[in-house]
């Protein structure tokens, strides 16, 4: 076990990212929110969302009581929307079960929706001064390289060993140390092209001594991501409004507003689309099916006018390929009778909680921001 705290803290004092907005506070709500937003998301992407979110929902009570649409709209574009739904549920648990205060023990904190061991530890260390170790992606990479751990980083045994290391190496000043190891991983010990000559741990790092910094963590080849396909409906009524549909609370886009969707990989539409997942086709039969299916389901008189070019969006566990079907609504628009359907002018639609691909489609209409 290689002691790293002393040189790491000295480096952090001189070079750390002390100006990050969530480093200007010891408030548990603000620290927790930052940790949730930073999960699988870059710091520069999080900054504007963090500021806007706090301006609108500055504390546990405000977040717990907010309409879900507002929470998702504030999160829209940040991705991984389960985090937003869990964040609101966590705020509700804090208000109902912990009298409006973040739990002050690890055992209680990890019971909050969306809060794992590392997230809970980061908040407890910074808000309450507890000696709690973290193991986010940056800290994990620093430990793997400094100790030359050449094992699958996602394997259970490797995770257990890394937690043992993290717990043993974390000093009493866990607040500063945790921020230091995160910054070292983000700024110096990066996933690709680590800057070993600038690293305060270079003289102690086993991977560096063995010339293996670029080879660690080991890359385990996994099966390619499965592909899914979808058609989205961009229907405009005589007033120029477009139709959005609220998705169920579960799933990748749970609770978000979306263009109505048809999936060619299941149901009757699959018979019209090649099962070997070639580019999504544009045929008279497919257009006719989509027009009739959406007209029937949405209770609209639709006329499809075009199918846009195929686009792609990559998720953590799969890749989505989609085309946008443009349509005109003839006669009166009656889809508003359903609680999950709503008409918006394009600029107003962009103010809602939207999946990133849908936001991209709507911005291309010319009303984007």
Question: Which run of H or of E encompasses 8?
Answer: helix 5-15
Domain 5-215 has CATH 1.10.340.30: yes
pTM: 0.84
CA–CA distance, 208 with 335 (Å, rounded to integer):
62
CA proximity to 184, closest of 42, 1, 2, 9? 9
Give the per-residue pLDDT at 333: 61
pLDDT at 368 over 90: no
With contact defined as beta carbons under 8 Å apart, do 30 and 62 qualify? no
**Rounded mean pLDDT of 229-251?**
90
User: Which among 179, 92, 194, 96 has a CA at the least distance from the CA of 141?
Assistant: 194
256-265, 340-349, 350-359: the lowest-pLDDT one: 256-265
Among residues of the chain, what percentage have pLDDT more than 90?
A: 73
pLDDT digits (tens, 9 = 90+) for 289-345: 999 999 998 989 999 999 999 999 888 788 899 999 999 998 766 655 567 899 999
Q: Average the pLDDT over 266-295 and give the result.
A: 72
Reply yes or no on whether 35 is catalytic: yes
Indicate the SS3 state at residue 231.
Answer: strand
Task: Reply yes or no on whether the pLDDT at 12 is more than 90.
Answer: yes
Confidence of residue 274 (pLDDT cuts 50, 70, 90): low
Q: Which residues of 73-111 are buried (b: 16+ CB within 10 A; e: fewer)?
A: bbbbebbbbbbbbbbbebbbbbbeebeeebbeeeeebee
pLDDT at 245: 93
Residue ranges per structural domain of the chain:
5-215, 227-367
Q: Which fold has domain 227-367?
A: Nucleoside Triphosphate Pyrophosphohydrolase (3.90.79)
Residue 269 has pLDDT above 90, yes or no: no
pLDDT tens digits for range 42-75: 999 999 999 999 999 999 999 999 999 999 999 9
Would the pLDDT of 206 be above 70? yes
pLDDT at 369 over 50: no
The mean pLDDT of 157-185, rounded to a whole number, is 96
Which stretches of 149-300 are assigned E, i.e. beta strand? 227-236, 242-246, 257-258, 261-262
Q: How far apart are CA 339 and CA 246, in angstroms?
A: 8
Name the active-site residue from 35, 44, 172, 245: 35
Q: For 83-119, how does the pLDDT look when each residue is reduced to its tens digit (9 = 90+)?
A: 999 999 999 999 999 999 999 999 999 999 999 999 9
List, for residues 124-158, the tens digit of each pLDDT value: 999 999 999 999 999 999 999 999 999 999 999 99
């Amino acid at each position: 076990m290689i002691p790293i705290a002393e040189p790491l803290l000295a480096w952090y004092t001189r070079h750390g990212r002390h100006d990050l907005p969530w480093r200007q506070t010891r408030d548990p709500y603000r620290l927790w929110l930052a940790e949730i937003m930073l999960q699988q998301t870059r710091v520069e992407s999080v900054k504007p969302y963090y500021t806007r979110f706090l301006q609108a929902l500055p504390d546990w009570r405000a977040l717990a009581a907010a309409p879900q649409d507002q929470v998702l709209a504030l999160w829209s574009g940040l991705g991984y929307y389960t985090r937003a739904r869990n964040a609101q549920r966590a705020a509700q648990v804090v208000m109902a079960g912990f009298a409006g205060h973040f739990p002050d023990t690890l055992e209680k904190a990890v019971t909050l929706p969306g809060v794992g061991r590392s997230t809970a530890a980061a908040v407890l260390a910074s808000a309450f001064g507890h000696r709690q170790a973290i193991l986010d992606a940056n800290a994990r990479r620093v430990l793997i390289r400094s100790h030359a751990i050449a094992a699958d980083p996602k394997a259970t045994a490797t995770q257990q060993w890394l937690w043992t290391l993290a717990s043993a190496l974390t000093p009493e000043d866990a607040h500063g140390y945790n921020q230091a190891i995160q910054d070292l991983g983000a700024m110096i010990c990066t996933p690709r092209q680590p800057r070993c000559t600038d690293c305060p741990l270079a003289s102690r790092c086993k991977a560096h001594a063995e010339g293996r910094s670029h080879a660690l963590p080991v890359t385990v080849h996994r099966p390619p991501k499965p592909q899914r396909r979808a058609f989205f409906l961009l229907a405009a009524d005589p007033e120029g409004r477009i139709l959005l549909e609220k998705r169920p609370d579960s799933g990748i886009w749970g609770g978000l507003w979306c263009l109505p969707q048809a999936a060619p990989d299941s149901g009757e539409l699959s018979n019209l689309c090649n099962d070997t997942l070639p580019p999504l086709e544009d045929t008279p039969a497919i257009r006719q099916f989509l027009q009739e299916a959406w007209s029937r389901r949405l209770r609209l008189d639709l006329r499809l006018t075009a199918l846009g070019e195929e686009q792609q969006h990559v998720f953590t566990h799969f890749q989505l390929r989609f085309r946008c079907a443009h349509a005109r609504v003839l006669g009166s628009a009656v889809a508003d009778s359903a609680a999950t359907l709503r008409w918006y002018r394009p600029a107003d639609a962009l103010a809602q909680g939207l999946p990133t691909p849908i936001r991209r489609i709507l911005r291309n209409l010319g009303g984007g921001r």
